[in-house]
Structure 1
Amino acid sequence: MMKPSIPTPSHLKPYHLCLLDQFFGLTYVPQVLFYQNNNPSKHDESQTNNGKSLVENDEIIMIITRLKESLSKTLSVFYPLVGRLTADESAIDCSDEGIAFIQARTNITLGEFLKSPNRVDELPQFIPGISTRIVSALEVVPLAIQVTVFGCGGLAVGSQYLHKIFDGASWGNFLNTWAAVANQGVDQKIVKPDFATAISLFPPCSWASKRSSKILTTRALLDGGNHEDEDDQTCVVKAFVFIPEAIAKLQAMAKSELVNNPTRIEALSAFIWKHAMAAAAAVAASSCKSNVNVIGPSVLIHSVNIRPRTNPPIPSTAIGNLIIHAYASYKELEENQPISDMDLKDLVAETRKGLSEAKDAEFLSKFKGENGAEAMRQYKQKVADISKDKNINTYKFTSWSKLDVLPNFGFIGMPVWIGFTGGKLSSLFKNLVTMIEIPASGGIEVWLILDEKEMSVLRTSEDFLVFASLTS
């Protein structure tokens, strides 16, 4: 257990969650950052057959020690992470109990791993495990870190953070603070997190805290699932790469009178939405032995970072779940109407319409202050009702493309690949889509969690593979 280097002052205890945090359950978000060895001449990959001497040499020990010491200092700045939730999940008791830190090693090289056709399926090995059998919120650990050393000296920094406390932008702040502390030490140059703004704009409400019945993690277990009900493990994770040229072509195809300048995320989201719907229709037709694929009603839900959208804008350093879920609807095609009639331009227009409302400062203003709780409850309930309707296929999108999740640890450089999760997952995470910016290339890697049969249809679709290539 990693403790903060400086105990949390008493005046900072407890840390109360803001209204937007309260609506989240106990779900964890995984991520793995892969770093290559900066001194390859010292560690010839051909000489690492057993890996032991390399993993335990002075240089590696120094790197791990530096990561741990800087992490401890960073936890003093991000003090809520080392505490524990209160029983009603409305606050964090900043008790300095610490976070889980795991050190692991593998004898294969980073190059061998990145060339593996099964690397997405192997990702859970680099993500720290979280117990899903906790019976009380008091036992929940907000963060776990795993550092894995490859046989070549490369590193994988895996993590799972509790979504109830952090959103993606908050996590980016944490990573970059950790990198800054590791490179320079704690001083005035390090931008401190803002823990006050979220709760001042969105004060908590006594009835809003979600009492969670279970712990959920999108890290698949190494045995192939993460759910007690074996019959529920029907989803798989695959990642697809969209190079900049493919994204630009989709943007051009998506232009219309309604949207003459579709963004990369809008065009890509609509394209994936279209083909995921088509895959679901194909599987449904096959199960009922029909020759006609019927696209049913569908909804796209997109997470939107509201920090730059409010008036005035919220500081980028503000910590909390400062996001709102925008949604776009698609009505089913008439029977015998070809799927080709599902136009990308129409889907982009619907996506833009949904995102525009969530990005409107006047719309967001009604959730602020003491009267914002009821408005937020109604909006959240509306989105939840859509998601729970079994007659509607719901696809949940989140984009990391504008989040600063590329920490530069100077002594190990920039990450060469960012992983999300892999393997088989519970159907609770079905139709989850995560978009991650690819370091250096400017492309986007899209991580899809779909029903196994639907994924099989999608990954063999010629129309889909014209623009996407399976990560391997």
Structure 2
Amino acid sequence: TPCLPTPCHLQYYKLSFFDQISVKEHVPIVLFYANNKFINNFTIDERIEQSLSKVLTHVYPAAGRYDKDECSILCLDQGISYTKAKVNCKLNNFLEKAHKDLSLAALFWPHENKYINKSNLMVSPIVTAQVTEFECGGLAVSLSSSHPAMDGFSNIKFLFEWAKVCKMETPIENINFLRFNLGNVFPTRDISRLFKSTYDPVIEKDIVIRRFSVTR
């Protein structure tokens, strides 16, 4: 949950028209980090959780829940789903296998089916996160967000700022990124005559995975 309560005037977040017509599927991202020998495992666990709580104070819709109209989010600090896990293999060994089979990366992101009540989005987390520790001390950090609330750009920006706050221990008052005003520019509309339901629980969709490598 956010480390500070969301102010009253921000507790009702209106989605934009573009958010309204997007599917409510989750968009997961997973990042892999080598072991940082300068920070022990106990400290890094604590810093990851504390920095996430700080970032959620700023990205308040992520810790809310969809309202019954599904066109807005009630930002009442309900929190996100946060999972910690461990695997009995080393990061380098896993990456060697993942280069040949990208689908292995899917093992390290939170699977929304475990958390999302698709028949009642009002009780389901908008964002789920998972931090997995390898035997060598390396980490897999994953974030999965419901698309109307957090698109791809927002997810990447969220992860980038989370990493910065974790590494630099940035104070809450100095965290400032993303603006939540698109709903004012493109307000929601009655789309009942334009589109069918944006979510069909019967249709199964293939998962497509992409790898982005950064070399130094």
Please indicate the TM-score interval, normalised by the length of the shorter structure: 0.7 to 0.9
Give the aligned partner of residue 169 of structure 2: 184
Q: Partners in 2 of 1:67 and 1:210 — Cα distance?
A: 40
Q: 1:31 aligns with which of 13, 29, 32?
A: 29
TM-score by length of 1: 0.41
Letter in 1 for 2:5: P
1:172 and 1:36 mapped to 2: Cα distance? Answer: 19
- Equivalent residue in structure 1 for 2:82, among 101, 110, 118: 101
How many matched pairs?
Answer: 210
Kept after mapping to 2: 8 A contact 1:89/1:210:
no
Is 2:127 aligned against 1:129? Answer: no
Q: CA RMSD in A?
A: 2.6
What is the rounded CA distance, in whole Å, between the counterparts of 1:133 and 1:184 in structure 2? 34
Structure with max Cα Rg: 1
Match of 1:282 in 2: none
Q: Using the alignment, how far apart are the partners of 2:197 and 2:57 within structure 1?
A: 28
Q: 1:96 to 1:211 in 2, by over 3 A?
A: farther
CA 1:85–1:200: 2 relative to 1, 3 Å:
same
Q: 1:31 to 1:210 in 2, by over 3 A?
A: farther
User: What is the letter of the counterpart of residue 107 of structure 2?
Assistant: Q
Shift of the 439–65 alpha-carbon distance from structure 1 to 2, 3 Å rule, reads: same
Letter in 2 for 1:156: A
Q: Which residue of 1 aligns with 2:190?
A: 206
Question: Separation in 1 of the partners of 2:158 and 2:139?
Answer: 19
Tell whether the 8 Å contact from 2:54 to 2:172 is kept in structure 1 after alignment: no
Does structure 1 retain, via aligned residues, the 8 Å contact 2:17–2:187? yes
Contact 1:14-1:93 at 8 Å conserved across structures? yes
- The alpha carbon displacement at 1:176 in A equals 2.0
Task: String of CA shifts for 1:385-427, please: whole Å, max 9, x gaps.
Answer: xxxxxxxxxxxxxxxxxxxxxxxxxxxxxxxxxxxxxxxxx4x
Q: How big is each residue's C-alpha offset from its partner over 1:79-121, in whole Å with a ceiling of 9 and x where there is no partner?
A: 0011100122100011211101000001211011011265523
- Identify the residue that residue 276 of structure 1 maps to in structure 2: none
Please give the secondary structure, in 1, of the residue aligned with 2:164.
Answer: helix
What amino acid maps onto 1:124 in structure 2?
A
Task: Return 5+ residue gaps in structure 2 as ranges.
Answer: none
State how far apart, in whole Å, the 2-side matches of 1:4 and 1:210 are.
35
CA distance in 1, matches of 2:67, 2:156: 25
Decide which of 139, 142, 165 is 1:158's aligned counterpart: 142
**What does the per-residue CA deviation read over 1:180-209, in whole Å, with 9 as the maximum and x for residues that have no partner?**
22223235653332112x123212213369
Q: How does 1:275-294 map to 2 (within 5 A)?
A: none
Distance 1:150 1:169 in 2: 28
Maintained 8 Å contact 2:117/2:123: no
CA contact (8 A) 2:117 2:124 kept: no
Shift of 1:437: 3.9
Correspondence for 2:69 among 82, 88, 91: 88
**For residue 27 of structure 2, what is the amino acid of its counterpart?**
V
Q: Which AA in structure 1 matches 2:148?
A: K
Q: Give the secondary-structure state (helix, strand or coil) at the position aligned to 1:161.
A: strand
1:136 positional shift: 1.4
Counterparts in 2 of 1:86 and 1:186: CA distance versus 1, 3 Å: same
2:12 and 2:200 map into 1 onto residues whose CA distance is: 24
Does the CA-based 8 Å contact 2:110-2:143 persist in structure 1? yes
* SS state at 2:47 partner: helix
Code of the aligned partner of 2:84: Q
C-alpha contact 2:55 2:175 (8 A) present in aligned 1: no
Determine helix, strand or coil for the equivalent of 1:148.
strand
Flag the structure with more relative contact order, 1 or 2, with Cα contacts below 8 A and sequence separation at least 6.
2
Code of the aligned partner of 1:142: I
Structure 1 Cα separation of the partners of residues 109 and 177 of structure 2: 27
Counterpart CA distance in 1 for 2:16 and 2:28 is 23
Residues in 2 aligned to 1:210 and 1:13: alpha-carbon distance in whole angstroms: 29
Q: Does 1:62 align with 2:43?
A: yes
Counterpart of 1:93 in structure 2: which amino acid? L
Q: Report the alpha carbon displacement of residue 212 of structure 1 after superposing the two structures with TM.
A: 4.7
- Return the letter of the residue paired with 1:194: R
Shift, 1:133, TM fit:
5.0
1:133 to 1:167, Cα distance in 2 relative to 1, 3 A: closer
1:139 Cα deviation after fit: 2.3
Q: Is the 8 A contact 1:25 1:210 kept in 2?
A: no
Alignment of 1:8 onto 2:42 = no
Per-residue Cα deviation, 1:240-272 (whole angstroms, up to 9, x for no partner): xxxxxxxxxxxxxxxxxxxxxxxxxxxxxxxxx
CA contact (8 A) 1:32 1:158 kept: yes
Change (3 A) 1:87 1:211: farther
Inter-CA distance 36–128: structure 2 relative to 1 (3 Å threshold): same
Aligned 1:199-348 pairs, distance under 5 A: 199-207=183-191, 211-214=197-200
Partner-residue secondary structure (3-state), 2:40: helix
Structure 2 Cα separation of the partners of residues 68 and 186 of structure 1:
14
Q: Which residue number corresponds to residue 139 of structure 1?
A: 123
